[in-house]
Homo-oligomer: A and B are copies of this chain.
């Protein structure tokens, strides 16, 4: 067990935004909520998965919706508490701890804010090791864990308890309800016991986020190259140097979808990179070749500061470095690729790991 204070939150917010691969919500909002909650309730207890009793009930907490909507519809924190308490009442069992479902600006930090408000510990684990746009895209799903009973709650006071036959139906029905509830809602989802978390979750994700954030912060302080340091830490690769020249983005069927075009500079002069996204970045490709594809991670970093830029934060003219990181090995299994690979999102290509794509490029 260790305590998370304000500096840790600052660092986690940066790391979470990077692993959020463009999605997972605005890190600024998540950070403010967590800082505020710590201000009011003191530091947050972070448990490693091994510290959770096998039979303890843990319920991840998350925001669902298009990030373009989330930016304009800032949660008050009440909805998350409401969703959590509704699920506890419905299940008739006390909840021992919460945890993030994914890595991302809002969704890494929201469970920390909730935990501070409710004086509960947070488990240092998540279900993606990155952010993904759909509810069934979690390692728990790969291991057959049900997303339901789950609760959706909005800021107006509406709440919905879902019980579905499988997690694809949970995604579908919850997405429909979310759209009607104003485009974003708070979830309590994937209630699990400690034993399942030890087996199925991706461990120490908050620790990794904190390390990424600290690395970027310290590199700047010491005049080192933040991006190079981060790539060392995450086994990542630089995909492209450029500036944003076009963003074609729609908010449709509850998602922010589109393509960002980045014009090459320096070593990428006279090339263009196309970033396809559905909340999160899915594919990075030039006219000639694919550089990185889901479930591997694609992040856009500010050239100067090394700080991650979310999909909805992409602005015309922004100078950036696009990087690619290998995903957790759980996503590179057959079921992992079926669930989150390029074909699931409608791209007619086989998943190829970033390491191989990089090797091809060098040949």
Contacts and interface: CB of A to CB of B under 8 A. Distances in A.
A201 B134 CA distance: 43
A176 B157 CA distance: 17
Interface in A88-139: 90
A280 to B, nearest CB: 22
Interface string A173-192: 10111011100000000000
Contacts of A157: 164-165
A: contact size bracket: 20 to 34
Interface string A58-96: 000000000000000000000000000010001000000
A309 B55 CA distance: 58
Contact of A163 (B158, B179, B181): B158
- Chain B CB within 10 A, most for which of A172, A175, A176: A176
Contact of A160 (B156, B160, B165, B179): B160
Interface string A317-352: 000000000000000000000000000000000000
Contacts of A163: 86, 158-161
Contacts of A176: 176-177, 179-181
A156 B173 CA distance: 12
The 6 closest A-B pairs by CB, nearest first: A176-B180, A161-B161, A176-B176, A157-B165, A158-B164, A173-B180
